[in-house]
Amino acid sequence: MEFFIPKLNVLNILSFNYNNMNNRNLILEPFSCIMRIILLEYKPNGTKISIQNNSILYNDPTFYQGILRSFYGDNREDIHNLYSPILKGFEWYNIQDSNMNRYFFEKLIIGLEKLNSVYDENTIIYHSISHYITMIKDLLETNDLTKFKDISKQESPLIDNLKNIWDNDEIYIIYKNLNYINNSEDEELKNTYIKSIEDILSYKEKQVENYINNSSTSY
């Protein structure tokens, strides 16, 4: 059996790995982060994630998945980087007066469960994701962020400005597309809606990356 392994420029890989390892604490825009995890529900079993340029990427379950993840320096720190944007999502998108926001976090649990199914139950990554799932369920029930937020931890001054990346109409479009995906039995139509959401996310993530890069020179 032949496996296709993409041709990779070794110097590019080494350069990428060096830069990536020196920038692990990336800022993730909360809504885009949450949506990327939600979309894992519709990805092939075994799909993993990595973080690059302030966005979440999907690593398909192919023969060379592990090789590429090693080259790109992906590790459990990527999972730890999900914690803050999930909490910030609860802070920004109130679940008490919005069924739509509650729906997003309920779908987030499904995405995290899909991601957790990839890992062995004895690994730190598995327990980290399990903790996030428990935390989200607790927040959906109590809406008490004080139990999980570390007030002593300094937050990037760039974070709060990211809330303006999305307006309410755009979020509602995402919500409607998710409903279409779940209610449709037409696989081709489902994939069309999934691609539509991913295209919007890619555009927003590029905005976030540009904003952070332009703003970082001021700090």
Q: What value does the mean pLDDT of the chain take?
A: 84
The stretch 99-128 carries a mean pLDDT of: 97
**SS3 of 120-159:** CCCCHHHHHHHHHHHHHHHHHHHCCHHHCCCCCCCCCCCC
The stretch 108-124 carries a mean pLDDT of: 97
* pLDDT at residue number 121: 96
**Distance in angstroms (rounded) separating the CA atoms of residues 86 and 90:** 7
Q: Measure the CA dihedral 82/108/141/95, to 10°.
A: 90
Burial of 177 (0-12, 13-18, 19+ CB in 10 A): middle
In this prediction the pTM is 0.83
Tens of pLDDT, residue by residue over 150-185, are 765 777 888 988 999 999 999 999 999 999 999 999
* DSSP helix/strand/coil, 65: helix
Q: Is 101 or 71 the better-scoring residue by pLDDT?
A: 101
Q: Residue 76 gets which letter from DSSP?
A: T
Amino acid at 20: N
What band does 76 get if pLDDT is binned at 50, 70 and 90? low
Q: Torsions phi, psi of 155, nearest 5? A: -100, 145
55 pLDDT above the threshold of 90: yes
Looking at the chain, the whole-number percentage of residues with pLDDT higher than 90 is 67
Residue carrying structure tokens 């995405």: 111
